[in-house]
Amino acid sequence: MLPCLAVILFVGTVVVFYNRLVKARNQLREGWSGIEVQLKRRHELVPALVECVKGYRAHEEELLEAVARERTVAQSARGVSEAGVAEKALARDLGRIVALVEAYPDLKADEVFFGLMEDLVEVEDQLQYARRYYNGSVRDLNNIVESFPSNLVAGGFGFKVAEFFEVANASERLPPDLASALKGG
């Protein structure tokens, strides 16, 4: 009777830990999906921004080419690390487009450009929320995968530590007060 109870207790423990791991992995996948949605929205804004800025093209040809190139690289990125590096470069160049407002006051008054920049601010905000959710899910999964005794179950079923998604450091992100900067306030 006692060995039977020990087996039942062991199997029950494995099932509980396995289910916790599956739940954490599914939350991680949901978080990554949210990031992908926001990155897709950002990538869709890039061609419109480039087109809008083309009127100032004589001075900004290199920047527009860099943004288009970084967008292509970001869209083809595979995996968390590769996406992070590609998005970091794209965010840097998008920040340079934002800086054009200072160099070209007429651009600030352009309603299409202003609308696109408002959309970009919204996407960046949503991307930040999605990144926080994803990274929280990574933390939760990693805690389970690395903690004893759940690490024994995780290793046995092939669960691995996940990577955090970091796009850019604070100096490379779009300015948080972009909307007010565009309005001149």
Look at residue 177 in the predicted model and tell me its pLDDT.
Answer: 47
What 3-state DSSP class applies to 184? coil
Give yes or no for residue 168 having a pLDDT over 70.
no
Contact 42, 127 (CB under 8 A): yes
Flag the least confident range among 16-20, 34-38, 60-64, 154-158: 60-64
Identify which of 102, 73, 78, 105 has the alpha carbon closest to the alpha carbon of residue 90. 73
What does the pLDDT read at residue 3?
A: 86
Is residue 15 predicted with pLDDT exceeding 80?
yes
pLDDT (0 to 100) of residue 179: 45
pLDDT over 50 (residue 133): yes
Q: At what angle do helices 111-146 and 2-53 cross, to 10 degrees?
A: 160
Residue 182 predicted with pLDDT over 70: no
28 — pLDDT class (breaks 50, 70, 90): very high
The mean per-residue pLDDT over the stretch 127-140 comes to: 95
pLDDT at 146: 96
Show Cβ contacts of residue 136 under 8 Å, excluding neighbours closer than 6 positions.
31
Nearest in space to 116 (alpha carbons), one of 25, 33, 53: 53
When comparing pLDDT for 22 and 53, which is higher?
22
Q: Which CATH class is domain 12-183?
A: mainly alpha
